[in-house]
Amino acid sequence: MKQEMVALILAGGRGSRLKSLTTNIAKPAVFFGAKYRIIDFVLSNISNSHINKVGIATQYESTVLNNYLGSGSNWGLNGQGCQTSLLPPRETSGGANWYLGTADAVKQNIDWIDKTHCDYLVILSGDHIYKMEYDKMLAFHKKNKADVTIACIEVPLSEASRFGIVVTDSNNRITQFQEKPEHPKSTLASMGIYIFSYPLLRKMLLEDAKKEDSDHDFGKDILPTMLNNNKRLFSYSFDGYWKDVGTVQSLWESNMDLLDPNCSLNLFDSSFKIYSADTKSTPQFISSTAKIDDSIVNQGAIIFGEVTHSVISNEVEIEKGAIVKNSVLLPGSKVKAGVKVEYAIVGDKKVVDKDVIGKKNDIYLFD
């Protein structure tokens, strides 16, 4: 069945800057916000954008992620007219290859994309926290008769060198693209969200695959080549909440943002839900000795101690006399009696039996 636009999520990243949190699982499968995994956000965006077919390119430590994704039913991406396909590297008649770059990951799945008969392909990262309606971005793409549309967000100049930076004219047409520049020419950063007119992208991916000197990467190769060939590249401005949770510090900050009543990432908006798998936890228990203030506490948590401005995941246990402040406790972790935890992320199923004290700008990862 023909689809106007299908989605392909790049979810194979290792996420080495998250240290031990990604030793055995891919970055998109890391826990977030007491109830979710990081990949829940992009999948929920797809569901809320009325996209029915999604391919998910997995690679590094994909077993947990693949099991979590299943058929896509948790996000309404299965059933009549819907399809969720896991796309790991595979051996074909041409041999076996790992994904060599972001563009190569898409190129190796051209056969899957072709079968959808789509006009447009939206390419997404599986490791960002945000809410976006991709169908509105598609309308912008079509209105401008664009070859590719890049979602962009303003960032501080001090951080611009971490991103792909675009320079645009007064009509939002991109005139320059800089991949993580030492001296950025603007503060308009690519979010790693691309809508391509698929026939052109298909042609360019096949051409790029033949270049021995290519990194087979969208930011380094495909987009600059399109600009050099005078293709129509446009910037789609996004002004909502968006966070690349690629470090321990940024993962902690994004969890803490959920506790800010002015945070634009609203997890309680019934018109745009973020879906996740049911943890099937036991009921939550809050003891008469417990004190909880300004915190998110998921089901299955057992709390006897004191919790302040923290994010507590399912099956966490905080014993009597324990104090947890400004911290993120991942599923199944336990804080022993009398222990203090502050400015920290506690890994899943870890037992804290001594004080763990970090700093606001130097978060302690207890692993």
State the number of CA atoms in the 13 A half-sphere of 295 facing the CB: 24
Break the chain into its structural domains and give their ranges. Answer: 5-257, 285-366
SS3 breakdown of the chain: % helix, strand, coil, rounded to 5?
25, 30, 45
CA 89 remoteness from chain centre: 20
Q: What are phi and psi of 81, to 5 degrees?
A: 75, 0
Residue 293, SS3? strand
CA distance 263 to 258: 7
The residues pairing with 303 across neighbouring beta strands, listed in sequence order, are: 286, 318
Structure tokens at 210: 């033949």
**pLDDT computed for residue 99 by the predictor:** 93
Instruction: Compute the residue count for the chain.
Output: 367
User: pTM to 2 decimals?
Assistant: 0.94
Is the separation of the CB atoms in 176 and 166 below 8 Å?
Answer: yes
**pLDDT computed for residue 217 by the predictor:** 95
In 3D space, the residue among 239, 229, 147 whose CA is nearest the CA of residue 191 turns out to be 239
**pLDDT computed for residue 80 by the predictor:** 83
**pLDDT computed for residue 281 by the predictor:** 79
191 Cβ contact partners less than 8 Å away, ≥ 6 residues apart? 128, 130, 150, 151, 152, 153, 238, 242
286 Cβ contact partners less than 8 Å away, ≥ 6 residues apart? 292, 297, 303
Q: Does this chain's domain 5-257 share its CATH topology with 285-366?
A: no
**pLDDT computed for residue 1 by the predictor:** 64
Q: Which CATH superfamily includes the segment(s) 5-257? A: Spore Coat Polysaccharide Biosynthesis Protein SpsA; Chain A (3.90.550.10)
CA distance 261 to 238: 21
**pLDDT computed for residue 278 by the predictor:** 74
**pLDDT computed for residue 93 by the predictor:** 67
Tens-digit pLDDT profile for the chain (367 aa)?
A: 678 999 999 999 888 999 999 999 999 999 999 999 999 999 999 999 999 999 999 999 999 999 999 999 999 998 888 999 999 998 776 666 899 999 999 999 999 999 999 999 999 999 999 999 999 999 999 999 999 999 999 999 998 998 999 999 999 999 999 989 999 999 999 999 999 999 999 999 999 999 999 999 999 999 999 999 999 999 999 999 999 999 999 999 999 999 998 999 999 888 999 999 876 778 899 999 999 999 999 999 999 999 999 999 999 999 999 999 999 999 999 999 999 999 999 999 999 999 999 999 999 999 9
Q: Which CATH superfamily includes the segment(s) 285-366? A: Hexapeptide repeat proteins (2.160.10.10)
